[in-house]
Amino acid sequence: MSFYLGPAFKILSTLAFAVMLVLVKLLAERVPSGEVVFFRSAFAVFPVLAMVWWQGELRHGLATKRPGGHVLRSVYGVSAMSLWFAGVQRLPMADALAITYAAPLLIVALAAVLLGEVVRANRWSAVGVGFVGVLIVLSPHLGELEMIGSDKAATGAAMCFLSAFFMGLAQIEVRKLTGTEKTGAIVVYFSIGSALFSLLTLPFGWVMPTGADLVLLISCGLFGGIGQIFLTLGYRHADASVIAPLEYASMIWAVASGLWIFGDVPSLTVLLGTLVIVASGVAMVWFERGAANRAEG
């Protein structure tokens, strides 16, 4: 039974994050993305602190040797979140999510450049195939790139791709932090740092939310925190090579909620591109698993 705990927690995390994205999209026309990021980060602190307390790390687990690393991770993370939320507000959920699937592919390239990791040819091949999938998803918007700023969909597509880049940078910084920091410290300081940095968007048009919107904003933060808890528990109970491909379950929730709530029907182009990206991601995990098995053998 314990074998299934890791995958189950990972699937639950994708579901929690999908609910969060639905809430973000529901707020699209009324609340600026920077304000949404603030509530997402500030109210995520509560379930995350509960997780740290439950793990018995509240007293010693928040000690840090690299405060500058946490600040940098927060800058990258809040940039990624702001761009992603803004992109989700302009695109169908399936399109936005498929474009941000570029993040794991970008991490491979960034790890080679910034961390000096040795990337084998088969991984580069998988990355290349994955980027073909990203281009397929982006293809309906490529002809509109000259209209960024005036065309809603083209702007959203560009924002989602930039978000994937900052997601990659954030994950690289997390890899550096894991050498000295506990998981609780990384997660808690990210939530606090993101909330503080998102306050910088205050002069750019925050609004006083209605009672209903305030409930949605707080729920956005709580579901984001709950998703982080489930994600952490997933990696605690299963190897990364087992967990990583399950991230693509988020596309199921994105398509289902897009159809049910917003009436968005994903195009064949998006579905085809997503299939190519998923195949490349699964291939990368497969290659790494094989390399790890050979090293152990």
What confidence tens digit (pLDDT) does each residue in 236-261 have?
776 665 666 677 788 888 888 888 88
Give the per-residue pLDDT at 291: 60
Give the per-residue pLDDT at 117: 73
Model confidence, pTM: 0.82
The C-alpha angle with vertex 251 and arms to 280 and 135, in degrees rounded to 5, equals: 50
Please give the average per-residue pLDDT across 39-57, as a whole number.
87
- Statement: residue 93 has pLDDT above 60: yes
* Greatest mean pLDDT range, 30-44, 104-118, 242-256: 30-44
Give the per-residue pLDDT at 66: 86
What is the rounded (10 degree) CA torsion for 192, 194, 200, 203? Answer: -100
**Structure tokens, 58:** 């509240």
**Structure tokens, 218:** 């707080």
Closest CA to 186 of 27, 74, 59: 74
DSSP letter, residue 261: I
Closest CA to 77 of 9, 158, 218, 177: 177
- Statement: residue 75 has pLDDT above 70: yes
The full length of the chain comes to: 297
Burial of 59 (0-12, 13-18, 19+ CB in 10 A): exposed
d(CA 239, CA 288): 12
* Greatest mean pLDDT range, 78-92, 178-192, 222-236, 257-271: 78-92
pLDDT digits (tens, 9 = 90+) for 194-244: 999 999 988 888 999 999 999 999 999 999 989 888 887 777 776 665 666
- Statement: residue 1 has pLDDT above 60: no
Residue with structure tokens 């994600």?
231
Q: Are 137 and 124 in contact (CB under 8 A)?
A: no
